[in-house]
Structure 1
Amino acid sequence: MELPEIVSREEWLVARKRLLADEKEFTRRRDELNAKRRQLPMVEVAEDYVFEGPAGEVHLLDLFDGRQQLVVYHFMFPPDWNAGCPNCSWFVEDIGALKGLYELNTSFVAVSRAPYEKLAAFKEEKGWTFPWYSSAGSSFNYDYHVTLDESVVPLSYNYRSKAEWDALPSGGLVQGEQPFDLHGMSCFLRVDDDVHHTYSTYGRGCDSMGFTTNVIDLTALGRQGT
């Protein structure tokens, strides 16, 4: 990897101030983007999804735990796997205390297709404390396009159809037998007992939420190919 040029402190300061102007512009654009995100319309969730957790069967409304908002991390852990996705594991390792979210009237859970017993065992092995639920037996993963199976719903990931993915220079989305799972994050808003879907992001859309990725992007060596 090519290292940065060595310069004097005065030269560095000139370059740093030039970058600072770009950073301030980026922050302004990010604030505008966040405002647009909050202005997205929402869709009422009509499906009565059932999940399994430590207390048995629960519904989507229960995952809010009495709070107004819910953030779901779609963790890749298909039923036939004995361990969770390494990249998803790396992402959730960065999750800190949820107290701040709770104070903002927002709950966070992870959801995977694997049976709850597998999720609980893997969670205990890793020492994680965030809530994790199984969506096995429901259409939740398929409806939010993190489990792709054309026999259930038309293939779509990150708002591209299979034809659109296949037309990209990089080729198709994923090679392998269906169904296959991918990762993402979805947000929901509760109005009384009615649940609404407000936002979902996939692929690198989750990068901005990771502590490690945000911090490492400030360093000279960056992500080092990861």
Structure 2
Amino acid sequence: MTLPEIVSREEWLAARQALLEREKEARREQDRINAERRRLPMVRIDKPYRFHGADGPAGLADLFAGRPQLIVQHVMFDPDWDAACPSCTAGIDEMAPALLEHLAARATTFVLVSRAPYEKLAAYAAARGWEIPWYSSHGDDFNFDFDVSFDESVKPPVYNYRALPVIPSPELPGFSCFLADGDAVFHTYSTFARGTDFGGAYALLDLTALGRQEEWEEPKGRAEHARAAVPDFAV
């Protein structure tokens, strides 16, 4: 095992301060990317997608559960599989109930969608102790239209906005975000990543058109006051 170099406290502090500047710039750049993402245009969804969940059949608008914003995690679970993808499973295992509460407090609903029949999803969720709403798109075009399921007889395979020369798996991971305005539903963003890449409510909200919606929060606590008083307090 290779260990870090041993130096004096002064040398460590100089190296840490230099790295801190790079960390701050990386955060600023990420903030600029998040702002640009929120400014992306959106596309109206007119196709009548159909899902099946704990309460029976549902349309895409039903998945919002009365909130204006929806985040869908595309969980890899092919109809022929007996279990979901291990990586997707690991990410969902780490999602605490408070995550959904934090998202809901910012008018955002979070759900899982997979192509396996609902009976398989319900059994798997029960075995894992999951309570996150999980919908089946079995028999529907939803997964194919959002390029996370692949069948050349349905459409040419595309993933991460590029043609796939070889299909590595019939299912791949991703997240899609939607916005509701009255009866209209719009697609605002999709990213093709693993669930383990987004570990908290803020990271998920940064994918959405409405963003973190800080104005919805309770009055500032001590940490927020510190950031307001010292703008460079955070990285």
1:134 and 2:123 correspond: no
Matches within 5 A, 1:28-177: 28-96=28-96, 97=98, 98-162=100-164, 166=165, 172=166, 174=168
Instruction: Give the corresponding residue for 1:169.
Output: none
Shift, 1:129, TM fit: 1.2
- Contact 1:110-1:132 at 8 Å conserved across structures: yes
Secondary structure at the counterpart of residue 181 of structure 1:
coil
Question: How far apart, in 2, do the equivalents of 1:125 and 1:208 lie?
Answer: 24
Q: Which residue of 2 aligns with 1:23?
A: 23
Following TM superposition, the consecutive aligned residue runs of length 4 or more in structure 1 with deviations greater than 4 angstroms are: none
Shift of 1:35: 0.4
* 1:11 Cα deviation after fit: 1.3
* Contact 2:88/2:196 (<8 A) preserved: no
Whole-angstrom distance in 2 between the partners of 1:4 and 1:207? 27
Measured in 2, the distance between the counterparts of 1:173 and 1:2 equals 38
Instruction: State the superposition RMSD in angstroms.
Output: 1.6
State the alpha-carbon separation in 1 of the partners of residues 32 and 167 from structure 2. Answer: 30
What's the secondary structure of 2:62's corresponding residue?
A: helix
- CA distance 1:49–1:55, shift in 2 (3 Å): same
Partner deviation per Cα, 1:77-133 (whole Å, 9 max, x = no partner): 011111111000011122222111001000000000111111111101101111100
TM-score, scaled to structure 2: 0.81
Name the structure 2 match of 1:195: 185
Question: CA shift at 1:56, angstroms?
Answer: 0.7
Q: Secondary structure at the match of 1:70?
A: strand
Query: TM-score if structure 1 supplies the norm length?
Result: 0.84
Q: Say whether the 8 Å CA contact 2:77–2:83 is kept in structure 1.
A: yes
Partner of 1:210: 199
Q: Compute the displacement of 1:72 (Å).
A: 0.2
Aligned residue in 2 for 1:14: 14
- Kindly tell me the number of residue pairs found equivalent between the two proteins: 199
Give the CA deviation at 1:207: 5.1
Match of 2:176 in 1: 186
Distance 1:207 1:92 in 2: 8
Cα distance in structure 1, aligned partners of 2:181 and 2:77? 30
Q: Contact 1:158–1:203 at 8 Å: present in 2 too? A: no
Q: Deviations over 1:193-224 (max 9, x none)?
A: 110000000136x554126xx9xxxxxxxxxx
Take 1:134 and 1:62, find their aligned partners in 2: how far apart are those partners? 13
